Amino acid sequence: TPGGPVLALADVGKDGVGSGDDDIFGVIGSAFEAWGAAAPGGLEALMRKDVREGGHLAAASLRNDVRPRLAQHTFYVAQAALTPEEMTDRCIRQPRRLCGYTPALVWQHGDGLVAVNKPWGMRVHLPPAQEGGQRQVWPEELTVHNWFRDTFPGEKPRTCNRLDFATSGVMLIARSKEVKRYMQKLFEKRQVCKMYTALVLGNPPQAWDKGVWLTYALMDTDGFARRVASDTETE
């Protein structure tokens, strides 16, 4: 494994590795050490950054948010998508990447339709080939369908729209076949307004109104890719 041993999420905070299940920053510090990153003072820097940004990480759920995020980041390190130093640096500069793993119910219309805020870094469901066979990409991986089944026991999730793994935002899920058919017609007739917000760093090599192929691999893992435009991109 690149950068030293990678700690499984189930081991973080146990058997003397972490500082206890109620110590979020102790568990994060243990993960930093497990990744093998040399980051003196990194945990203190992360804590200061979290305070400046409103304390979202300190207020997060260790079980539902921080531990799953650490497992996800451990997977990236194991896949050599990022080096231990790069991953640790990103966590220090962006503390909120270590929380916000739980989908949130934002709206509900009777027993027919719900709107859920899907977090980034989460799939809607497992591909058909994996259902009943190969499990999650990392053992603690959850999906939007997992959340739905836990929230509405015994019901089948019928997604009306989907978002990519890396994209966060609102998803509509029907709780009955009739509502799913109705929503499908609205989407087909383009009677649903969808808005996307993107955070852009820099400028594309071509004009903003011209499309380009994204071929530079910023971060790749097994099944998940992050690509950006480079100076050599063409239309």
Question: Using one digit for the tens of pLDDT, what is the confidence trace for 167-180?
Answer: 899 999 999 999 99
Residue 37: the pLDDT is 78
Which pLDDT score is estimated for 60?
93
Instruction: For helices 24-35 and 67-78, give the axis angle rounded to 10 degrees.
Output: 10
Give per-residue pLDDT as tens, 115-125.
999 999 999 99
Position 129 scores a pLDDT of 62
Mean pLDDT value of segment 16-39: 74
Region 153-164: mean pLDDT is 93
Higher pLDDT, residue 181 or 226? 181
Cα 218 from chain centre: 17
Please give the residue that has the higher pLDDT: either 182 or 201: 182
Which helix (DSSP H) or strand (DSSP E) does residue 228 occupy?
Answer: strand 224-228
User: Can you tell me whether residue 143 is helix, strand or coil?
Assistant: strand
pLDDT of 3 strictly over 70: no
Contact between 170 and 117 (Cβ < 8 Å): yes
